[in-house]
Chain A
């Protein structure tokens, strides 16, 4: 088959940006993602093998009991590759050739961490809040509320509610302005936060007339996937003033505040502590997919011959003649005439006809790097021309 070179107008590069929406609901120390609960399996009670509210990497081991699960393993060799879960000490104990195994599924979900102003654990280099010091200050030009320490408050000493969203969920960044936090008590909305100005400030926008309405209760780090809440005003006011509160930190009973938003979201809080409050966290992620669009032109007079064995009339002797000083291929083979005729005899006039079934892509060194298949072969004659559009997602 002849090669044909793509011209500059035949290749286009594009980036597809998609914004899938995610909805987390947190209730009684359980998390639900996109309203999906546990699916009961025939062998295990949770077929997905990950807790609700988690995403599963590879989504393997569906409804598999212990002992029948798919697991990864690697042999210790000179490349010294190992699983991240294998400690250096364990790795040294393995002999070369030994198999080191891991386990599936790997899962991820949102994690809430509450940093109380009185807690001693918030100091130290391993503190997740302190590690955001530079990142928060970096975004100060967007909003003063990002500042780690300012006249608006010192995140190093005040109560801070940190919600971490794994990047495997949101992709390259959380879409600006899409974060929406809802605080419910007994199913009634008592507080709602949105980034109205798309500058990262989480402003209380509802319910109408609620205490703290219009105030900034926290900030969002869109690229990094963190929500920091510092709003500490009582949300149980007005119609809900009678609500005594719940054990958002395990003990004692506390009034509902934004710093307690998401209590029970993988923060170690036992079930039955928060049974009246529920929380909704909605946002859109961002994924970018690079695509190459290629236009392959089969113009008049091109690609009208095939090397397919069936292109020639069946039953002809196609074996070359070989001798000690000669190799002669037959030069009188006839091409099968596939032109339809209304009569069995005489046949229709011969027309070179091919059927394009695939397009092969080669690099500049003529290495085959891709094949595009058509759903059905396309009939090509010398007086027809086609443009085949191919799209490759990277």
Chain B
């Protein structure tokens, strides 16, 4: 153990940032089919339902996302006669308050189709929400990696034959920042020159929330499965508007859950590191206070009095300004140090 401290200056430290990603594939069979809805947790309050990646009664199950639906009080669907009308409006307002924020008068702003809130434009007033678990999104969803494939066909056709893939195409360079919840991108139905006016939803990267406009269903949308079959025949013929006003949030969540064909995205974990360059100059750290360093009051590694002192560096201790030991870095093998050598030991601290 060294008995002297050496001050680390600003020139001896540097900070680095590494982005670690994970590819998250969520096939539609997880959301509906494989586990016969034993992995779908519903709640008596009926305001959302949770999807797990395994029957949720098992300790192996992980919560992966929640689904809910809401519409604005300004929506044409809003009516006191509608089932759970207040809850649908409350959910829309709650999500909008967090994700879009308030205007100068304190009113909650609506979800904007192209994200240009100040510029007015079309508002998404009937939306589905996918709130992804922090386990999957980690620090944030990677931009231009979110893809959601929904079956959107009419009830008369083969539902699986009308898949529509929504994605935040081009968001790596065109994401928006005018949200209190962080950065977000617009979901488009095509990667070909995304046009802001063709947005069908929003994806909030740090919040891990996808907002999908009900407009993707073009006014038609079947109800929940009547049988256990996945997207097969057996649907009632409600249009989306009938479904949105005449059904509970849970039925709406079930309906869109049954239509999920695939979800993929990449997440991001930000690893921050500080690198300390610990420099041992030629005349430094050549002695040791280790009890084994001396034998009969003589330096063990010196054979004659004219030999240079030698030490072996095994550990670097990092101390605070008050000389409190904060961290210890171990070398994989001891390094020989004598007055003829200088060493720079690179200590990296991840956090």
Cβ–Cβ contact B53 & A75, under 8 A: no
Cβ–Cβ contact A74 & B20, under 8 A: yes
Partner-contacting stretch, out of A58-66, A196-204, A246-254, A383-391: A58-66
Residue in B16, B58, B62 whose CB lies within 8 Å of A79: B16
Separation of A35 and B200 alpha carbons in the complex (Å) = 50
Whether, in the assembled complex, A81 has its beta carbon less than 8 Å from a beta carbon of chain B, the answer is yes
Query: Which residues from chain B contact A42 at a C-beta distance below 8 Å?
Result: 34-35
Whether, in the assembled complex, B24 has its beta carbon less than 8 Å from a beta carbon of chain A, the answer is yes
Separation of A117 and B223 alpha carbons in the complex (Å) = 72
Separation of A378 and B23 alpha carbons in the complex (Å) = 43
Whether, in the assembled complex, A72 has its beta carbon less than 8 Å from a beta carbon of chain B, the answer is yes
In chain B between 96 and 125, which residues have their CB closer than 8 angstroms to a CB of chain A? Answer: 102, 104-106
Whether, in the assembled complex, A41 has its beta carbon less than 8 Å from a beta carbon of chain B, the answer is yes
Query: What string of 1s and 0s marks CB contacts (under 8 Å) between A43-73 and chain B?
Result: 1000110000000000110111000111111
Cβ–Cβ contact B22 & A70, under 8 A: yes
Which residue in chain A gives the minimum CB-CB distance to B26? A68
Given A41-B54, A62-B62: A73 touches B22 (CB 8 Å cut-off): yes
Query: What string of 1s and 0s marks CB contacts (under 8 Å) between B251-285 and chain A?
Result: 00000000000000010000101000000000000
Whether, in the assembled complex, B27 has its beta carbon less than 8 Å from a beta carbon of chain A, the answer is yes
Cβ–Cβ contact A79 & B17, under 8 A: yes
Query: What string of 1s and 0s marks CB contacts (under 8 Å) between B19-41 and chain A?
Result: 11111110100000011000000
Whether, in the assembled complex, B60 has its beta carbon less than 8 Å from a beta carbon of chain A, the answer is yes
Whether, in the assembled complex, B61 has its beta carbon less than 8 Å from a beta carbon of chain A, the answer is yes
Cβ–Cβ contact A74 & B35, under 8 A: no
Cβ–Cβ contact A62 & B102, under 8 A: no
Query: What string of 1s and 0s marks CB contacts (under 8 Å) between B212-235 and chain A?
Result: 000000000000000000000000
A191 to chain B, nearest CB (A): 33
Query: Which residues from chain B contact A309 at a C-beta distance below 8 Å?
Result: 102, 106
Residue in A47, A62, A74 whose CB lies within 8 Å of B21: A74
Cβ–Cβ contact A75 & B22, under 8 A: no
Whether, in the assembled complex, A140 has its beta carbon less than 8 Å from a beta carbon of chain B, the answer is no
Cβ–Cβ contact A48 & B20, under 8 A: no
Whether, in the assembled complex, B18 has its beta carbon less than 8 Å from a beta carbon of chain A, the answer is yes
Cβ–Cβ contact B22 & A72, under 8 A: yes
A47 to chain B, nearest CB (A): 6
Query: Which residues from chain B contact A81 at a C-beta distance below 8 Å?
Result: 18, 20, 271
Cβ–Cβ contact A39 & B60, under 8 A: yes
B63 to chain A, nearest CB (A): 11
Please indicate which of the listed interface residues B18, B27, B35, B271 has the most CB atoms of chain A within 10 Å of its own CB: B18
Whether, in the assembled complex, A88 has its beta carbon less than 8 Å from a beta carbon of chain B, the answer is no
Cβ–Cβ contact A60 & B62, under 8 A: yes
Whether, in the assembled complex, A215 has its beta carbon less than 8 Å from a beta carbon of chain B, the answer is no
Cβ–Cβ contact A62 & B35, under 8 A: no
Q: Number of A residues whose C-beta is below 8 Å from B?
A: 26
Q: Number of B residues whose C-beta is below 8 Å from A?
A: 27
Query: Which residues from chain B contact A47 at a C-beta distance below 8 Å?
Result: 54, 58, 60
Cβ–Cβ contact B18 & A74, under 8 A: yes
B109 to chain A, nearest CB (A): 13
Separation of A148 and B35 alpha carbons in the complex (Å) = 55
Query: Which residues from chain A contact B16 at a C-beta distance below 8 Å?
Result: 79
Query: Which residues from chain B contact A79 at a C-beta distance below 8 Å?
Result: 16-18, 273
Given A47-B60, A309-B102, A319-B105: A63 touches B18 (CB 8 Å cut-off): no
Residue in B21, B25, B58 whose CB lies within 8 Å of A68: B25
Separation of A71 and B60 alpha carbons in the complex (Å) = 18
Cβ–Cβ contact B58 & A70, under 8 A: no
Which residue in chain A gives the minimum CB-CB distance to B53? A62
Query: What string of 1s and 0s marks CB contacts (under 8 Å) between B44-75 and chain A?
Result: 00000000011000101110000000000000
Whether, in the assembled complex, A123 has its beta carbon less than 8 Å from a beta carbon of chain B, the answer is no
Residue in B19, B25, B60 whose CB lies within 8 Å of A70: B25
Query: Which residues from chain B contact A75 at a C-beta distance below 8 Å?
Result: 19, 21
Cβ–Cβ contact A39 & B58, under 8 A: yes
Cβ–Cβ contact B60 & A62, under 8 A: yes
Cβ–Cβ contact A43 & B34, under 8 A: yes
Cβ–Cβ contact A71 & B105, under 8 A: no
A124 to chain B, nearest CB (A): 15
Whether, in the assembled complex, A313 has its beta carbon less than 8 Å from a beta carbon of chain B, the answer is no
A368 to chain B, nearest CB (A): 13
Cβ–Cβ contact B19 & A71, under 8 A: no
Which residues of A does B touch, CB under 8 Å? 39, 41-43, 47-48, 59-60, 62-64, 68-75, 77, 79, 81, 101, 309, 318-319
Known: A70-B25, A73-B20, A74-B20. 8 other contacts (CB 8 A): A62-B53, A68-B25, A68-B27, A71-B23, A72-B21, A72-B23, A79-B18, A318-B106
Q: Which 8 A-B pairs have the closest CB atoms?
A: A309-B106, A81-B18, A42-B34, A79-B16, A62-B54, A72-B22, A62-B60, A79-B18
